[in-house]
Amino acid sequence: MKELRMILKKEFIHIFRDRITLLLVLAMPVALVLLFGFTISTDIHNARIAVLDHSKDSQSQAFIQKLSSSNYFQIVSYPNTETEIDFQFKENNIKLAIVIPHNFESQLEKEHNTTIQVIDDVSDLNIASILNNYVRSVVLDFQNEYNESITHGEPFSITTKMEYNSNMESVYMFVPGIITLIMILVTALMSSITLAREKETGTMRMLFITPVKKIYVVIGKVIPYMIISFISTIVIIVISVFVFKMPLNGSIFFLLLLCIIFMLTAASFGMLISTISTTQLDAMMITMMGLFLPTVLLSGFLFPLNSMPMVFQVLANIFPAKWFILAIKDVMIKGSGFFDVWPYLTILFGMAVIFISISLKMLDKRN
């Protein structure tokens, strides 16, 4: 045990004497959260729109009221013809236009059915689809209220309701992703790179020629980076809850436990990489290709999994990130507890056990 403590001490000295790397490792999570939160945010507030109201009755007025009272839109003009709308698009004055048909109110009353036309500027597909969703949610709201207000006759039949993330805040989607990336970068990448560095400089040979247990050398590498990434995780959670108002509906202790388990999975992957790579470049490439890219692409963090081809959906299952992101979203947003997410935990823990036992086998084989 004394030897392990000494090796840990040595690792911490390495980390603290390499100020630039330490600064990078600690600042990276903060920078990432702020960057995603403020700039890459897919939320749009006060998008400039135009409304062409052919009907000009009390219901159409109520609908326009609804649109402008939502935070999503800022109605900048009320054109009278469709050519005017065209002109506004060309001037780049508006992002979206809504056309309310003639006889809006009477169609609603008599036929319980009407059509609102939405014209998008699809030169930016992303923004257009987000704005479309916003319009849809406003229309739904409007329908619901209209249906409540009539006591006779048939109500509208559309009943879609957004249960979680009802105001479609994208921060909820990327915070789990960033936590995942940080844990992988710090725990797996940093520990495997520094271990490979020792192989390059020959200090590893010195350690292995001593009677010290090899497992101590590897554990000693991994633990300090686990501690650092745990601190980073807490910082990310604090920023996302207090700056971006992300809900934390589940137990904070359970959330941290979840993070620790995922950290173990990431660390075990780092151990595996360290044992198979002999140079820092190897370690970096393997982590990037084998863990980092799949995490970005196949975890559902940036790109929704269920819109991917079946092959990739199946492939996503073998990477730990998907399971962790599912679990952390459930815990933070839905407030799920152990009994809801234990299958994910079991998968993550199982992966850690597998990675650790493979790397122990490899360690024994080497030298």
Partner 1 sequence: MNSIEVDHLTKKFGDFVAVNEISFQVREGEIFGFLGANGAGKTTAIKMMSGLLQPTSGKAIVAGYDVTTQAKLIKRNIGYMSQRFSLYNDLTVFENMQLFGTIYKIPRTELKQRIMDSLAALELTKQANLLVNSIPLGWKQKLAFATAILHKPKIVFLDEPTSGVDPIVRREFWNLIYQTASTGVTILVTTHYMDEAEYCHRISIMADGNIRLLGTPEELKQQVGVSTINDVFVEYVKH
Q: Which residues bind partner 1 (CB under 8 A)?
A: 2-3, 6-7, 10, 13-14, 17-18, 201-203, 205-212, 367
CB atoms within 10 A of CB 68: 15
In this structure, are strands 47-53 and 96-100 parallel, antiparallel, or unpaired? parallel
Phi, psi of 49 (to 5 degrees): -130, 165
Beta carbon nearer to partner 1, 191 or 233: 191
Cα–Cα–Cα angle for 207, 282, 176, rounded to 5 degrees: 100
Quickly tell me which residue has 């993550």 as its tokens: 348
Least Å from the CB of residue 232 to partner 1? 23
Q: Give the 3-state secondary structure percentages of the chain, helix then strand then coil, rounded to 5.
A: 70, 5, 25
Both tokens assigned to 298 = 């196949």
Asked if residue 104 lies in contact with residue 78, where contact means CB atoms within 8 angstroms, the answer is no
Least Å from the CB of residue 241 to partner 1? 37
- Residue 48 CA to residue 43 CA, distance in Å, equals 14
Beta carbon nearer to partner 1, 199 or 329: 199
Compute the Cα dihedral for 51, 55, 58, 59 and give only its sign: negative
Least Å from the CB of residue 363 to partner 1? 13
CB atoms within 10 A of CB 284: 17
Beta carbon nearer to partner 1, 6 or 260: 6
Beta carbon nearer to partner 1, 136 or 205: 205
Asked if residue 359 lies in contact with residue 218, where contact means CB atoms within 8 angstroms, the answer is yes
Q: What Å distances lie between residue 190 and 182, 220, 255, 263, CA to CA?
A: 11, 13, 24, 13
Least Å from the CB of residue 317 to partner 1? 38
* Non-local CB neighbours of 81 within 8 Å, separated by 6+ positions: 52
Sheet arrangement for strand 47-53: 73-77, 47-53, 96-100, 117-120
Least Å from the CB of residue 8 to partner 1? 11
Residue 202, phi-psi category: left (phi > 0), alpha (psi -120 to 50), beta (remainder): left
Least Å from the CB of residue 214 to partner 1? 11
Beta carbon nearer to partner 1, 233 or 275: 275
- Residue 78 CA to residue 57 CA, distance in Å, equals 15
- Residue 143 CA to residue 161 CA, distance in Å, equals 12
Beta carbon nearer to partner 1, 211 or 309: 211
Beta carbon nearer to partner 1, 208 or 254: 208
Asked if residue 300 lies in contact with residue 316, where contact means CB atoms within 8 angstroms, the answer is yes
Least Å from the CB of residue 359 to partner 1? 19
Beta carbon nearer to partner 1, 207 or 308: 207
Beta carbon nearer to partner 1, 195 or 316: 195
